[in-house]
Structure 1
Amino acid sequence: MINPSAIGWIDKFFLEQKPSLLPVSIQPNEFYTKVRKTGFIYGHIVSFDTDFPIKTKGWLTNEISKVALLNTLFGVYILTSKEKNPEIFIPKTVAFYNEMNPQGFNLFKKILPNDSPSLNLEKIIDSRVQTNIDIISKNFSHIVTNALLFIDVLAFRQYLVHGEIPEKYLKKIEETIISIVSLALKTKTTKSKYDDLLIKLFESSVRYSKFSKVNIKNLEELKLDFFTNELEQSYLIDMAGMALWSDGIIENNEAYFLHKLAELMNVPDVFVTESIDKTNEFITQYKNEIPYFKYSNPVKHFYDQTTQTVITLITRNKNRLVKEIVQSKELMLLLAYSTRRDLDEKEKKKVRKQLLDICKTVPSLAIFLLPGGSLLLPIFIKFIPKFLPSAFNENLDEEDLE
């Protein structure tokens, strides 16, 4: 039995799966359909597409994700190279990840030159499935970040075809996903402030794109002809459909958006219908297991959970926070302003900067310094004044607040 947290699990995986017995004749649409059925596309793995069953009783979510990522990478390797030798696949995968390692993103810092390729790959995959969302709130599924793991699979296919990852490929596909999700949400008949939060969740999950907002106004601006592979096209449509899903009902304008997206990539309408049906079928069947989809507004659920997380952090560190804040008159005044009116962008920037400086001195608040932690800062700023001494507001000179 495989233990994905024990050294040597990759070698044991291939020993048990006996890939030399597997057929290599598989088509892209067949491969993608099987991967989607496992839940890997949606970021919630419910099964593995393997010839020999794998028992996962007692496994942690990240352990399931590790095996799923390995198996899906191996699947696209078989699809692309038409061969199935793990001894060739493993070093190639390590070489691929070494190339895709972005500047400033020290993903593989634990890798040692004397380690075997399979051990190096274990360390890479272990780092790869760790999610920012887990750090922010353990009550919220890391579905967004894990859904984006399929980008690794698409980039690996590019690496196998070209011998390298095409320049700016990773940045381009991440930006396209964010843009498509943003445009998809704009088509929703009923909108809420939480739609913007969903965009921020995607933005905090990407690794290669650094931007604060999506500026694309329509699908035609996306230059979708960059994505010519069937796997890429199918994935982009499914991601749009997942963003639109709320109660199992796709409005006419939402369906039109998905069909227009498919048309621009020359994808048959029949795939859009299948995508809508399969996404609804999967989420309907498993939503009780996926925290993200347990509620009618999953993003509101995330907001509620993270709000409670922030309140808990402030409460536990109240004395230390007050001590640090009172040392800065400017920060105190800006926080007081925030209880009476909305701060302008310059003021918000000052508050964020000074609060982040304080977080650096309080270990328990390091969460706000991590990738994705910026999602919590507005909530942090909102609740801090409520935890400060009453004299903080009562004794402030009114002239300072005008």
Structure 2
Amino acid sequence: MNPSASGWIEKYGSVVQKHQNAFPDFDVLYHALKKSGFVYGLNSGIPEFIHPEHLLSEDEKAKINLLNALYFTFKIKGGEDFDQFVEQVFKFYEILKINSTGFFGKLLTGNKTSAKLEKLMTSRIYIEDNIISKTFNSLITNSLLFIDVLLFKHYLNEYVSLKEKAEEIEYLAIHITYHALSSKEINRKDNKLSQLLASSLTYINCADNKFDGSYRDRLLNSKDIWENRYLLDMACLTVWEDHSLDYTESEFIFGIGKDLGFEKTIILDSIKDVTTFFQLNVAIIPYLKEKNLAKQFYDSMGKIVKKLILRNSKRLLKELSQSAELVALLSKSTMRDLSNEEKKKVQNQLLDIFKSIPSLAIFILPGGAILLPIFIKLIPKLLPSAFDENRIDDEDVETIRVKN
């Protein structure tokens, strides 16, 4: 399965048919989502039954985890039909007015609901709409996506004031993390975590005074167990970010846990879970990494271009095979610098090809030409490994037919 190519939601639907009992209740689902980092907004893993052909980036893991969490929330509630699930999720996001997918969404949106949902979910994963500016910031994924899952639970239970509930959960989550940060000595990584959380807000504005003065009252009156578990885990994430927990921080965590109505054992379990997550994943957590800005830009752009080549390798190979001159120039570029005239030819012919492949629209946007040298450098090494990861096999089709 390839979550960066069209058809990945339907592919997930065919795969999950064989794993309907993977998460029998929300408790099992929640703990799995914590283990994968999705609850913490730091995606390091995906469900065991998903077998991607490519090494996944964090945003691709986030896509899979979000869809998987929403699907099994739907199933645990009693839902069965996958097409109905897709329709329900799309309607859910429409109610929350999260249905604007920007330039890429307008360019690529299909007629099927699953195709529209793919673009919408991509817009939920990324903090910024500008893919170029994202390369200057390693914190590229929305860290508060689990709130969508909590809201979807309410939606399935026919909760009336869904938008207001969204604002309240975000408000409590961000204020808990801010209070957790104030309970410890602030360092540079704390500031990065704070920026990550603030930039992930969807439903409220940090400068909005709508809830001022009511933070603790709202916390004490919060009765939903899974909302409260999430808020406790966010507090634990914040104080454990620097791999230590002093007396002051411990006092804060147990105070928050008590306010949320949890026994000491539940609070200790939350601390243990986040400790284990950090120990296993500290090397790959994006906001803990420091890089020279120029190197970060080049590395980020390289990853983006590499992914685009891999995801569209079949079509690229077909298009390139029809341009002998372009192939010859690309081959020359691996051995010597091209002349200005040759570079211009390569650029013009590549841009013509990109216009015929919607997924490569990034190259024809203003500023997209700066990616061409990276593309030219990578393409000889990456192009031959082409395949379609989202093809639904005959066996999958037969499984769905039997299931229905």
TM-score, normalised to structure 1's length? 0.64
**Partner amino acid for 2:83?**
E
Matches within 5 A, 1:197-212: 198-212=193-207
Tell me how far apart the structure 1 counterparts of residues 147 and 168 of structure 2 sit (CA, whole Å).
Answer: 11
**Partner amino acid for 2:256?**
L
Deviation larger for 174-183 or 41-50: 41-50
Partner of 2:31 in structure 1? 33
Partner of 1:191 in structure 2? 186
Residues 77, 89 of structure 1: 8 Å contact kept: yes
Distance 1:195 1:183, change over 3 A: same
Tell me how far apart the structure 1 counterparts of residues 23 and 36 of structure 2 sit (CA, whole Å).
Answer: 20
Task: List structure 1 segments (4+ residues) > 6 angstroms apart after TM superposition.
Answer: 111-114, 213-220
Q: Displacement of 1:135 after TM fit?
A: 5.7
Tell me how far apart the structure 2 counterparts of residues 214 and 187 of structure 1 sit (CA, whole Å).
Answer: 23
Distance 1:257 1:218, change over 3 A: farther
After superposition, give the CA deviation of every residue in 1:300-354 in whole Å (9 maximum; x if it has no partner): x48x859x98xxxxxxxxxxxxxxxxxxxxxxxxxxxxxxxxxxxxxxxxxxxxx
Residues 244, 250 of structure 1: 8 Å contact kept: yes
Q: Which residue of the other structure, out of 281, 284, 296, is the alignment partner of 2:279?
A: 284
Residues 96, 156 of structure 1: 8 Å contact kept: yes
**Partner amino acid for 1:58?**
L
Tell me how far apart the structure 2 counterparts of residues 99 and 215 of structure 1 sit (CA, whole Å).
Answer: 21
Distance 1:8 1:269, change over 3 A: same
Matches within 5 A, 1:145-224: 145-162=141-158, 164-188=160-184, 190-192=185-187, 195=190, 198-212=193-207, 221-224=216-219
After superposition, give the CA deviation of every residue in 1:160-197 in whole Å (9 maximum; x if it has no partner): 11155534111111111111111111111x23476456
SS at match of 2:283: coil
Distance 1:98 1:219, change over 3 A: closer
Distance 1:167 1:55, change over 3 A: closer
- The total of aligned residue pairs comes to 296
Distance 1:25 1:149, change over 3 A: closer
Confirm or deny that 1:14 pairs with 2:8: no
Residues 101, 107 of structure 1: 8 Å contact kept: no
Q: Displacement of 1:203 after TM fit?
A: 1.9
Tell me how far apart the structure 1 counterparts of residues 187 and 258 of structure 2 sit (CA, whole Å).
Answer: 28
Residues 216, 222 of structure 1: 8 Å contact kept: no
Confirm or deny that 1:260 pairs with 2:259: no
Residues 28, 230 of structure 1: 8 Å contact kept: no
Residues 175, 215 of structure 2: 8 Å contact kept: no
**Partner amino acid for 1:87?**
D
Q: Displacement of 1:113 after TM fit?
A: 9.5
Q: CA RMSD in A?
A: 3.4
Tell me how far apart the structure 2 counterparts of residues 213 and 305 of structure 1 sit (CA, whole Å).
Answer: 32
Distance 1:193 1:219, change over 3 A: farther
- The structure whose RCO (Cα within 8 Å, separation 6+) is larger is 2
Tell me how far apart the structure 2 counterparts of residues 282 and 62 of structure 1 sit (CA, whole Å).
Answer: 18
SS at match of 1:260: helix
After superposition, give the CA deviation of every residue in 1:55-95 in whole Å (9 maximum; x if it has no partner): 2533333222211211111121122x223321211100000
**Partner amino acid for 2:238?**
A
Q: Displacement of 1:213 after TM fit?
A: 7.9
Confirm or deny that 1:68 pairs with 2:65: yes
Residues 96, 162 of structure 2: 8 Å contact kept: no
Q: Displacement of 1:121 after TM fit?
A: 1.2
Confirm or deny that 1:47 pairs with 2:45: yes
Partner of 1:58 in structure 2? 55
Distance 1:211 1:220, change over 3 A: closer
Deviation larger for 36-45 or 177-186: 36-45
Identity, % of aligned positions? 27
| Gapped regions of structure 2 (runs ≥ 5) | 298-365, 368-404
Residues 139, 286 of structure 2: 8 Å contact kept: no
Residues 37, 45 of structure 2: 8 Å contact kept: yes
Residues 77, 83 of structure 1: 8 Å contact kept: yes
Partner of 1:4 in structure 2? 3
Confirm or deny that 1:124 pairs with 2:123: no
SS at match of 2:157: helix
Q: Displacement of 1:46 after TM fit?
A: 2.7
Q: Displacement of 1:239 after TM fit?
A: 0.9
Q: Displacement of 1:24 after TM fit?
A: 8.4
Partner of 1:351 in structure 2? none
After superposition, give the CA deviation of every residue in 1:187-245 in whole Å (9 maximum; x if it has no partner): 11x23476456434322221111233889999962512453222211111111111112
SS at match of 1:257: helix
Tell me how far apart the structure 1 counterparts of residues 197 and 109 of structure 2 sit (CA, whole Å).
Answer: 34
Residues 2, 8 of structure 2: 8 Å contact kept: yes
